Structure 1
Amino acid sequence: MNFWETITGSDITREHKAFEVRADALPADHRAAWTEIKGHLAPYADFTGRNLTPILDSALGLLEETAADGQSAREVLGDDVEGFCAALAGGEGSRTFRDRWRRQLNRNVARKLSRLGG
C-alpha cells in the first residue's frame, strides 16, 4: 500500500468491491447473512475501517466454505449474528467508541447530579 492509497482509501474500496464480487456468488441466505454481518461489524470500525478488512475477509471465507459444504448460513452463524460479530471483532463484550462515550457521558451526568443534590 502506498501513500496515495492510504490517503484516498482506494485500497479499501478495491478490497470491498472484491468482497462484493465474492458475495454475489453465494446462495441467497448466505448473501443475506453477509449483509447482516457487514452491518453488525460497522460499529467496530476504526476511523478508516481498515481494521475490519481481515475480519470481513475471514467472515466471507467462512460463508463461502459453508455454502460449498451445503450448510445454511443459520446453521453456522446461529440466531445471534450480532453476538457472532462481536466475537469476531474482539471478543464478547468488546468496547466500541460509542460504549466509551456513553460511559463518559453517564459519569459526567452523575457527577453533575451529585453536585446539584448534595
Structure 2
Amino acid sequence: MRTKALAAAGIAGLMLSGCSPAEPAPKAEPRPPANERNLGSFSGSVNSGTEAGFGAHGEVVAAYLSCASEGELRIGVLDLKPVTVICGTWEEPTRTVFEGLTAGAKLSSTIEPVDEPVVVELVFTDAMS
C-alpha cells in the first residue's frame, strides 16, 4: 500500500513540475538498400573474437555496421584478410564491401573489437542481388 502511495506521489510531482516520465527511445536498426538481399544479422556485445554464420551468398557481400558507442571492429569474411571498420551509428551504419568471394551456401564471418568491447548491430547483404 505504501509503495502505491509513493508511486502516485512521484507521478503527481512529475505532472506538477511539467515533466513526464522518460520513455526509452526505440532502437533503430540499420536498413540496407532494398535492392540488396539480406543474408542475416548479428547483434550484441563483442568482447573478443566472435564467429557468426549467415545465408547463401554471391561474389560480393556488403556489411552494415552500427554501434552503441564509438569504436572499431575487425571483420573477416570467409578466408579474406580481416579489415578494420569504424563504427557507424544506428541512423547511418558504416558500409563495407567484400569482393572476390566464391559464391556459396553459407557465409561465415569473424568479428572482434580493436580496443574496447562494443555493442553492435551487423547486417550482411548480397550486394549483387
TM > 0.5 fold call: no
Normalised TM-score (structure 1) = 0.28
Normalised TM-score (structure 2) = 0.27
Higher relative contact order (CA 8 A, sep 6+): 2
Q: Which has the higher helix share?
A: 1
